[in-house]
Chain A
Amino acid sequence: MATELYLKHTEAESPPRTALTINPAKTCQPIGAMYAALGVHRCLPHSHGSQGCCSYHRSTLTRHYKEPVMAATSSFTEGSSVFGGQSNLLQAFNTIFTLYDPQIIAVHTTCLSETIGDDLPQIIGKATLEGKIPSGRFVLHASTPSYIGSHATGFGSMVRAFVDYFAEKTGKKTETIGVFPGWVEPADMAELKRLLESMEVPYVLLPDTSGVLDGPLTGRFEMYPEGGTKLEDIRRLGDAKASVALGPYCSGPAAKLLDTKCKVPCEMLDLPIGLAATDRFIDTLRRVAGVAVSETIVKERGRLLDMMADMHQYTYGKTVALAGDPDQLCSLAEFLRDLDMKVKYVVTGTPGKAFDARLTELIGAAEEGDWRGAPGDLFALHQKLKQDPTDLLISNSYGKFIARDEGIPFVRFGFPIMDRIGHADFACVGYRGAMRIMEKILGVLMDRQDRDAPNESFELVM
């Protein structure tokens, strides 16, 4: 019995569900907005809703990053939900600027404040008029009701809000390239910066959680760690030569707005996960910034290719089930295809047709026996795996229950990861990141091969 977790509660088939979500492959918009806002220097995220929302988001982010996560809340009461949250928010501005002294308060809404119809621009305008926002301090907002989109779109909305409130077009174009990294880990943001610097591309990265959610132990508690995109850099985005949006769901809205608002042309790319997607990223930078690809990067590509060649017989034909967010899944699926693996099941909780279309472009249409649940949930994926298992499962930590019940080798990837370390510290983007993904995949596949090998074919050299 101890080995059965969901097993006994998961039948291979059940009547089609019309309303119910079981074991969601997503969560709600506000947590994405909170994560994005943490990537701006001296910015305090603020949840305009009940206390629980803020508490849940901070707990989840803390479990994932093992770092303090700072955010404030409007602490709605029964009264605020009848009379509106304006007085709570005005009081919150006062409390926050007096006590916590951030440069920016990034307000995101919740299902509660959206439904009662709080008019955020009006409230922020009133606070400004009444002098409740000290000089040199700023408030912005993103609309992130929980009943629309998912955590991924919430992230996209908050990045867009930063562009909306702060990007300024002075008319004096610069050589700067705006890079929207999308929802990736602090280590990924740092790796993107390394690649940009290696090619000598002048850039502004928005947001940038490196140095915020991967902080060192210093003996001090820093309310605002030293990392994060600086406000003046966000302003400069308006004069950028071009922008590069990595992942249409998380970065698309900001890049498109920067184009329409400040006439900064945008390049919409997949997240640079895997060889081909990284090629496109590097080539776009070369073209847009007018720079040469550095020798370092050429070598890194070669080393990745070398690893793929060394190991191709171990990845050949292996079937994979993927669960996660659209931007990550597209690039990851493409990389797995290049490793000669077969992406059999793909599930995301984030709604949207663009994902289906892009995935089909990258790896072809679903074949007989394949399944693409978009939107779908992990319970449905578990049922598919019961009917016809795969050789590998890649998902966030919640996949561990399925992996254990069905005995499938498992690689953690995505958000949240609450039971392993490393995801915040070692990058998965770029050529080097792809090598790390390969190491993880081959690690579990080869461990399984070793475990299952009869004594006579238990090999030392693999």
Chain B
Amino acid sequence: MGGGFAVLEGREGQVSEAGEGPSELVCGKPSLAGSVSQRACVFCGSRVVLYPVADAVHLVHGPVGCAAYTWDIRGAVSTGPQLHRLSFSTDLRETDVVFGGEKRLYASLSALILEHAPRAAFVYSTCIVGLIGDDVAAVCRQVSRERGIPVLPVHSEGFKGTKKDGYRAACDALSALIGTAESDPASYRGESGVAGSPYSINILGEFNLAGEAWIIRRYYERMGIRVQSVMTGDGRVDEIRGAHRARLNVVQCSGSMTYLAKDMKERYGIPFIQVSYFGIDDMAEALYAVATAFPEEPALAERAAVIVAEELAQALPALKAFRKDLEGMRAAIYVGGAFKARSLVKALRLIGVETVLVGSQTGNADDYRNLSALCDPGTIIVDDSNPAELSRFLQLKGANVFIGGVKERPIAYKLGIGFCDHNHERKIPLAGFEGMVNFAREVHASATSPVWKLLAGHGRSGEAVS
């Protein structure tokens, strides 16, 4: 370790510094038992990926907790049905644990489908279901036969790995749905001008938090591209069923959906590209990359260039104003996926903010190598961190603003530094060109707040805060 800062025993390999020379960050390993980890479980991974499918019922098979904690926790907005915002649980009790929960699952599923007439049902297995041995797949098959809609088991027992394994289980469920129906061009939900376009894509790994998928979708449609499906933001079962007809998969949030993209490439020969919609460079690249994938139509790239020029003309002056105040500030990033962290480092750089700490819950070796190359020397890079470690690093590096999720926010505030939620609790879209401006505004609002200056004023002004 170049920085000479203390790391929890057993975690030495999971922390490094950019500029330390070729290093291989240890990652993808289960958290040390007993650590105050910021990570979640397999079920959590599946639930966040599938949750935005708005016209399906999402039934959590297990005791009530798992359904209660994931009730409307994600601001994944829908233009129509709000069925995904309700919480459905089989609420297993002790007798079910002893005698099995299949009957309860069957009754619950049947009642739900009868009542809500959903387009499909997802059934999530929780820890206990894996132990008591319910044949969830068999119950799903039976109900599917009886009710005539797809009923998909999601093998998301919490203990069966990490959140990443949950993404995979969700992808398996989506994969089972894809290719089971054909989409009707007349029912296209987007810009009607592109409903018959031969250039069609699926957007993968975009969850429409605060309406982000709508922004991305508009850019592509302005280019002349038909968006067959979004998985899963503002998602619709019928569009996902017909997703095998798209000609290209555009994958964001690489951790969650690359697996599905690979699967679709194998099964349907659909190529995929990886993109990010955060920050100006990455957003522009996400449009050009799609244009490049359809070389037979040069007009796509031309229109992409027009969109980028138009959007930048609006965004750059706004960003410049924020940069004036933010220049020289230092940021820390701790997010779910490391792919997003890369975009954030670049986006922060654009507004004059240097990243001094970057980490993720679920990054892989490639992600961390790329981060190490991207960041300035001395930047701390960390996998699967915890509050004690994070707070020490924040103070050591004198961060002014922390970009993270729900559990990180109060830690930042206690230290007297700004915070921006780049996770489930974001309230405004942060993707796309307009999202970049929103992001800059969020960082500005928090990092420059007068509240942090008041901390020094209560008779302890001599005490160093950072």
Give the interface size class of chain B.
35 or more
- Does any Cβ of A come within 8 Å of B86's Cβ? yes
The answer to whether A100 touches B388 (Cβ under 8 A) is: yes
- Does any Cβ of A come within 8 Å of B10's Cβ? yes
The answer to whether A115 touches B158 (Cβ under 8 A) is: no
Bound CA–CA A100/B389 (angstroms): 11
Residues on the A chain within 8 Å of B161, using CB: 77-78
Residues on the B chain within 8 Å of A1, using CB: 80
The answer to whether A28 touches B68 (Cβ under 8 A) is: yes
Q: Kindly specify which of A56-64, A159-167, A198-206, A272-280 makes contact with the partner chain.
A: A56-64
The answer to whether B159 touches A80 (Cβ under 8 A) is: yes
Q: Kindly specify which of B59-67, B224-232, B246-254, B270-278 makes contact with the partner chain.
A: B59-67
User: Given contacts A6-B85, A95-B35, A148-B93, are A15 and B410 in contact (CB under 8 A)?
Assistant: no
The answer to whether A52 touches B44 (Cβ under 8 A) is: yes
Bound CA–CA A94/B8 (angstroms): 12
200-224 of chain A: CB within 8 A of chain B: 215, 217-223
User: Given contacts A78-B161, A147-B94, are A21 and B44 in contact (CB under 8 A)?
Assistant: no
Contact residue among A75, A80, A93, A217 (Cβ-Cβ distance under 8 Å from B455)? A217
- Does any Cβ of B come within 8 Å of A186's Cβ? no
Instruction: Mark contacts of B110-134 with chain A using CB atoms, 8 A cut-off: 1 yes-contact digit, 0 otherwise.
Output: 0110111000000000111011100
- Does any Cβ of A come within 8 Å of B138's Cβ? no
Bound CA–CA A75/B391 (angstroms): 22
Q: A46: nearest residue on chain B (CB-CB)?
A: B34
User: Given contacts A20-B107, A21-B90, are A5 and B33 in contact (CB under 8 A)?
Assistant: no
Residues on the A chain within 8 Å of B63, using CB: 28, 111, 145-147
Q: A49: nearest residue on chain B (CB-CB)?
A: B127
The answer to whether B39 touches A55 (Cβ under 8 A) is: yes
The answer to whether A60 touches B93 (Cβ under 8 A) is: no
- Does any Cβ of B come within 8 Å of A23's Cβ? yes
126-146 of chain A: CB within 8 A of chain B: 145-146
Residues on the A chain within 8 Å of B71, using CB: 23-24, 398
Bound CA–CA A58/B40 (angstroms): 11
The answer to whether A14 touches B107 (Cβ under 8 A) is: no
Q: How many A-B residue pairs have CB under 8 A?
A: 260
The answer to whether B127 touches A112 (Cβ under 8 A) is: yes
- Does any Cβ of A come within 8 Å of B137's Cβ? no
- Does any Cβ of A come within 8 Å of B438's Cβ? no
Q: Kindly specify which of B141-149, B297-305, B412-420 makes contact with the partner chain.
A: B412-420
Bound CA–CA A49/B104 (angstroms): 24
User: Given contacts A19-B104, A81-B131, are A24 and B67 in contact (CB under 8 A)?
Assistant: yes
51-99 of chain A: CB within 8 A of chain B: 51-60, 62-63, 66-78, 80-81, 88-89, 91-96, 98-99
Bound CA–CA A63/B424 (angstroms): 12
75-97 of chain B: CB within 8 A of chain A: 80-83, 85-94, 96-97
Bound CA–CA A261/B33 (angstroms): 34
Sample of 18 further A-B pairs with CB below 8 A, known A150-B64, A219-B414: A19-B104, A20-B90, A21-B67, A24-B67, A50-B42, A51-B158, A52-B44, A56-B70, A59-B73, A62-B409, A66-B409, A73-B31, A95-B32, A96-B34, A99-B35, A100-B36, A112-B131, A220-B414
Q: 16 interchain pairs (CB within 8 A)?
A: A15-B115, A21-B90, A22-B86, A50-B158, A51-B31, A52-B42, A52-B66, A56-B65, A59-B406, A75-B30, A77-B161, A92-B34, A93-B34, A221-B388, A223-B387, A398-B71
